[in-house]
């Protein structure tokens, strides 16, 4: 059994907050060909016998370099470069171009069969374009954003204030299945047996057991409640008089030492604080966009979902405050206020 009370550790307030932005889809919006609201009309045959695509069916890239034409539709170097960039791996260019040609041929065939007029297909294309443009805007916004030193220092002061005088503890424990075994081992400790040796021999927490029961340094809020309560009641060098029961089993608990929580320096926290400042600025910008937009929800079922989402977000804002609230929000995937920016906004939507 390798379970310990540390399995219930919560993320610490100083964990790294990262903002991930990427170009999004495998094929860029430039590689997405346009779709018309009307079914394609008949087109002239090419010399090879295939139908050429109707005029105006393909988006052009202004200033782009045409590297191939597929039944008269242009394939741009920019299409190729974006795909290479998104793949993130070395792919032979000739092979990649071959795949893109095949992709275009399949897309052409879809147009010939009128699939570009299917509402769901049109919705997917529109979503993909929105996705790409949203990511492009966020990336550009991040590039131009400047975080001032004054803002970083103020955020650091707030963080130190929130940490307060928190204490860390270093303790040892032996985890066994039942109270009877725990009390038998405690009797052996009273007779002079070595705690570390008993932990190595009997503890079902194999991780700390190999270290003689040593759990290292931790804050009380990182441990399950009964265990934390027992540790908090002890003086350094003292062992709990009774075994402590948790959902992992029965613990023999001994406090080794305690110390004030080491406070990180400004430079150690700088990356996290700068990321948090950028995240907050982006949240504010998105809130301003929503505030200034004229959004009309036209169906009752969607309206109720939007209202419910808004109420849940507001309730969370009223309940959670300070640095702890920021971390809890950051750890919640898909949160409504986009604390950690999604690589693709649409994929983060419920």
What is the DSSP annotation of 35-90?
Answer: --SSPPPP-PBPTTSPBPPPTT-S---TTPPEEEEETTEEEEHHHHHHHHHHH-S-
Cβ distance 274 to 152 under 8 Å? yes
| Long-range CB contacts for residues 7-12, cutoff 8 Å, separation at least 24 | 7/248, 8/222, 8/223, 8/224, 9/218, 9/222, 9/223, 10/221, 10/222, 11/327, 11/331, 12/219, 12/222, 12/327
Facing residues of 173 across strands? Answer: 253
pLDDT of residue 58: 58
Alpha carbon 245 to chain centroid distance? 34
pLDDT digits (tens, 9 = 90+) for 56-113: 345 788 888 998 888 888 889 898 888 888 776 677 888 888 888 998 899 989 999 9
pLDDT of residue 251: 96
Q: What are phi and psi of 234, to 5 degrees?
A: -100, 155
Cβ distance 204 to 176 under 8 Å? yes
Angle in degrees, CA 175, 176, 177, rounded to 5: 135
Choose among 145, 164, 165, 147: nearest CA to 273: 147
Three-class SS state of 165: coil
Positions of the chain with pLDDT lower than 70, given as ranges: 1-58, 88-89, 164, 305-350
CATH code for 167-260? 3.10.50.40
pLDDT digits (tens, 9 = 90+) for 116-150: 999 999 999 899 899 989 999 998 998 888 888 99
Range list of H helices, the chain:
77-87, 93-112, 119-144, 149-163, 179-190, 195-202, 206-209, 225-232, 266-292, 300-319, 322-331
Query: Quick one: three-class SS letters along 299-345?
Result: CHHHHHHHHHHHHHHHHHHHHCCHHHHHHHHHHCCCCCCCCCCCCCH
Kind plus residue range of the DSSP H or E element containing 216: strand 214-218
The whole-model pTM stands at 0.48
Q: What CA–CA distance (Å, rounded) separates 37 from 117?
A: 6
Domain ranges across the chain:
167-260
């Amino acid at each position: 059994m390798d379970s310990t009370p540390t399995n219930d550790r919560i993320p610490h307030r100083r964990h790294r907050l990262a903002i991930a932005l990427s170009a999004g889809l495998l094929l860029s919006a430039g590689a997405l060909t346009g779709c018309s609201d009307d079914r394609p009309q008949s087109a002239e045959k090419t010399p090879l016998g295939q139908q050429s695509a109707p005029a105006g069916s393909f988006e052009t890239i202004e200033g782009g370099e045409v590297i191939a034409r597929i039944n008269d539709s242009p394939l741009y170097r920019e299409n190729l470069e974006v795909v290479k960039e998104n793949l993130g791996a070395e792919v032979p260019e000739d092979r990649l171009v071959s795949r893109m040609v095949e992709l275009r041929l399949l897309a052409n065939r879809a147009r010939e069969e009128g699939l570009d007029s299917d509402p769901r297909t049109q919705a997917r294309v529109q979503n993909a374009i929105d996705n790409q443009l949203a990511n492009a805007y966020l990336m550009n916004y991040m590039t131009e954003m400047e975080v001032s030193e004054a803002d970083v220092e103020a955020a650091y002061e707030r963080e130190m204030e929130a940490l307060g005088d928190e204490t860390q503890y270093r303790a040892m424990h032996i985890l066994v299945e039942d109270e009877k075994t725990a009390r038998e081992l405690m009797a052996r400790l009273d007779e002079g047996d070595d705690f570390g040796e008993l932990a190595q021999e009997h503890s079902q927490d194999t991780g700390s057991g190999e270290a003689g029961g040593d759990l290292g340094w931790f804050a009380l809020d990182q441990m399950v409640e009964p265990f934390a309560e027992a540790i908090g009641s002890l003086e350094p060098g003292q062992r709990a008089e009774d075994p402590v029961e948790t959902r992992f089993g029965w613990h023999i608990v001994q406090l080794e030492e305690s110390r004030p929580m080491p406070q990180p320096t400004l430079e150690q926290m700088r990356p996290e604080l700068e990321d948090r400042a950028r995240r907050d600025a982006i949240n504010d910008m998105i809130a301003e966009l929503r505030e200034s937009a004229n959004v009309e929800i036209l169906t009752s079922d969607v309206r109720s979902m939007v209202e419910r989402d808004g109420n849940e977000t507001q309730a969370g804002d009223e309940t959670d405050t300070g640095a702890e609230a920021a971390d809890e929000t950051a750890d919640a995937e898909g949160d409504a206020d986009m604390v950690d920016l999604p690589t693709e906004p649409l994929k983060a939507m419920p």
